Amino acid sequence: MALKVAVVMGGPSPEHDVSLKSGHGVSDALTRRGWAVESIVIPRSGSVEDACVFARRVLLSGHPDVVFIALHGQFGEDGTIQQLCEELHVAYVGSGPEASVLGMDKIASRKLFERAGLPVPKWCVADAQKTIDLKQITGWVYPLVVKPSDQGSSIGVSLVRTPEELPAAIIAAGQFSREVLIEEFIQGREMTAGVLDGTALPVVEIKPHQTFFDFTAKYTTGATDYLVPAPLPEEVAGRIQAVGLKAHRVLGCRHLSRSDLILRPDGTPVLLEVNTIPGFTPTSLLPKAAGCLGISYEELCEQLVLMASQPLARRVMV
């Protein structure tokens, strides 16, 4: 008898709608593979605490064997739902609470990446509620990138071309996080490196039709081209994969992750961040990369459930 899988999606984050696309894609795929699937939509309204209460009640009543977390942003990627699954002793797809917290916190993860010798952009932190100390960026060359410290999908991210634009960009990012990351804008090719079950996937190149790969470029049909696999010399692709795999291990991720990088013109990859729950629609980047290895979207979803379900002793609910 197939295990019962609860696919959790939605949630109280700005990425609610994106999460629904991932979750429905996973639910449909697993259903076609013969799994007993329950789709759980966490309400958009309410606080993280409200979402926890809702999720706890639904999971306890449904008694799933495995939870496939298709949540993005707050509550989904920040370790909250993962900690809840741990407390309920139910298996789940993806990284544990600690790695999830680090992946979501761009400041904490940057510090770990630097300590591990991984190449990252020059960066500093600003408090959105205080006067900006411009001494931190003296001598920096514009444009700069300003982003919230704990959001995904390029939410709240701005490309700042002049010093006069900086205050407004910090205020915009500050709507989502008090701490704001300011980093150098690196000119180069955008790449993403996925990891599946400890193995580096083929590199994907992202080619937005505009200068900056923002939320609109990510989610507007036809606004971005994706080259799968990226047209790169084998040695360069290997360097990108090595950075993605090391970043995955530094954060302590499991099952899957996707690292976003910029490839400088000299062939040096620069790590931007790691997504512990990457987008999971049939056309999302990690499924595209897995497809290069002959792993279909349905097979990928099923493989992740099987990874999470071992050992089956974790199935016992409190």
Q: Which of 22, 95, 257, 275 is catalytic?
A: 275
Element (H, E) at 260: strand 256-263
Q: Which of 39, 153, 177, 257 is catalytic?
A: 153
**Active-site residue 153, yes or no?**
yes
94: left (phi over 0), alpha (psi -120 to 50) or beta: left
Residue 288, classified by CB atoms within 10 Å of its CB into exposed (0-12), middle (13-18) or buried (19+), is buried
Q: Which of 73, 152, 279, 291 is catalytic?
A: 279
Q: Which of 110, 189, 254, 258 is catalytic?
A: 258
Q: Which of 260, 284, 291, 298 is catalytic?
A: 260
**Active-site residue 76, yes or no?**
no
Q: Which of 15, 190, 298, 302 is catalytic?
A: 15
**Active-site residue 299, yes or no?**
no
**Active-site residue 15, yes or no?**
yes
Nearest to 60 by CA among 42, 28, 87: 87
Whether the CB-CB separation of 34 and 309 falls below 8 Å is answered with: no
**Active-site residue 23, yes or no?**
no
Q: Which of 273, 297, 298, 314 is catalytic?
A: 273
Nearest to 66 by CA among 33, 92, 40, 31: 92
Calpha distance 2→113 (Å, rounded): 40
**Active-site residue 275, yes or no?**
yes
Q: Which residues are known catalytic residues?
A: 15, 153, 219, 258, 260, 273, 275, 279
